[in-house]
Amino acid sequence: RNFLIINGPNLNRLGKREPGIYGAKTLDDLQNELEALSATLLMGVSFKQSNSEGEIIDLIHEADGQFQGIVLNAGAYTHYSYAIRDAIASVDVPVIEVHLSNVHAREEFRRESVIAPVTIGQISGFGFDSYTLALYAFNNHFKGDAI
Ligand code: DQA
């Protein structure tokens, strides 16, 4: 099975961006860790980053029929993009929402996710492990299926 990992706005700045909140490791480090895990779990992963809402929407549309699941860190779009929410609802691909930081322990505006209702679940606060936990969750989600 193949999974798409989408990182949204400002996540290309990982390592430089507010390291006290997001850590010192970079997006390349994240990609390397997830590629290593995907090999162990015998799953394929593709890795995309975009700062633009429309591009993220296009990636979600294009995933339909191509990927069995999406791990999505929509960054700040999480909190207000009805367009990304509608894109998720428009495709037949399960989405797991992830965040590096614990969005519930920060500013009030980060506590709301407008995309959460159209995902199968949210993992928040575990740094890079939020993504690895999502891959494990997808691995278990499809366990027992024929293909
Ligand atoms: C984030 C949390 C968001 O509130 C923030 O806007 C981000 C990163 C996280 O991974 O913790 O850009 O999604």
Structure tokens at 119: 């995902």
**pTM for the structure as a whole:** 0.96
Ligand 1, atom 2, residue with closest C-alpha: 75
Please tell me whether 101 is known to bind a ligand: yes
Q: What is the distance between the alpha carbons of residues 124 and 131, in angstroms, rounded to a whole number?
A: 9
Catalytic residues: 22, 99
Contact criterion met (CB below 8 Å) for 5 and 48: yes
Best mutation site among 73, 96, 106, 122 for ligand 1, i.e. most ligand atoms within 8 A of its Cβ?
73
The CATH fold of domain 2-141: Rossmann fold (3.40.50)
Best mutation site among 80, 100, 126 for ligand 1, i.e. most ligand atoms within 8 A of its Cβ?
100
**Per-domain residue ranges for the chain?**
2-141
Q: What pLDDT sits at residue 104?
A: 97
At 72-86, the pLDDT tens digits run: 999 999 999 999 999
